[in-house]
Amino acid sequence: MQSNLLSKLHVGIIMDGNGRWAQARGLSRGRGHEAGVETVQQVVEAAVDQGIGTLSLYAFSSDNWRRPSAEVALLMRLLSRYLRSEVAKLVENGVRLKVIGRRDRLPGGMAAEITRAETATASGTKLDLRIAIDYSGRDAILQAASRISCPDDLTRDGFARLITGELEARDVDLLIRTSGEQRLSDFMLWECAYAELYFTDCLWPDFGPAQLQAALQEFSRRDRRFGALVASTAA
């Protein structure tokens, strides 16, 4: 795929399979989540190398609070560690970080860590990295609807800006889900309206640059019509 097209591409990934990866190796679920964080590091670097414009990663959904408290605590520690340890590398690689989702329910100090990481990486221009933590697509739409002041003047673009908080909201072009599951799981529901869906049996800790490249190659073969007809068919 041409680099100028990739620079406009928004890739979303639902990272799934850490627990099953660990179980298959006789390891704890915690070790699976640790391996998953290592994969995040590799995939972010691969996205920069590929020239992708925006990469959105689903790290922790609002429904994940219902998991066992010990596992939730571990996930929060791993996310905090990533925010602290990766900032310098993100800055070096020209990556701008933004965390999407609620912050009021995060453990003490984590919201401040997020703000520091976002501020430190604000000048990045090679990749917009969005990590979804305590995120719900339905809640994002509901919150946007509650902020509507003049419904008669509302447009799709305007509503998208309310959902994302971005002046130029970018729809997801390619949504990848690992581990063989085939559902959206409440991830960026508005932004994925016309996303190309790519499902792979690969468990997230085994997903790497080669698997990302395979997904991009498959995407390049898709015929995206957005509800219209291609010129040859319309003729």
Three-state secondary structure along 38-75? HHHHHHHHHHHHHCCCEEEEEEEEHHHHHCCHHHHHHH
Please answer whether residues 146 and 159 qualify as being in contact, where contact means their C-beta atoms are separated by less than 8 angstroms: no
pTM: 0.93
Which regions of the chain are under pLDDT 70? 1-5, 230-235
* Residue-level pLDDT at 227: 83
* Residue-level pLDDT at 3: 55
* Residue-level pLDDT at 152: 84
* Residue-level pLDDT at 235: 47
- Using DSSP's 3-state secondary structure scheme, residue 19 falls into helix
* Residue-level pLDDT at 7: 73
* Residue-level pLDDT at 84: 92
* Residue-level pLDDT at 172: 97
| Residues known to be catalytic | 16, 64
* Residue-level pLDDT at 128: 96
Residue with tokens 């999407």: 100
Q: How many of the other CB atoms lie within 10 Å of CB of 185? A: 15
* Residue-level pLDDT at 1: 59
Domains and CATH numbers, the chain: 3-135+172-223 (3.40.1180.10)
CA angle, residues 99, 10, 43, in degrees to nearest 5: 70
Helices (H), the chain: 3-6, 18-24, 29-50, 69-85, 87-92, 110-120, 137-146, 156-164, 209-220, 231-234
Please answer whether residues 98 and 130 qualify as being in contact, where contact means their C-beta atoms are separated by less than 8 angstroms: yes
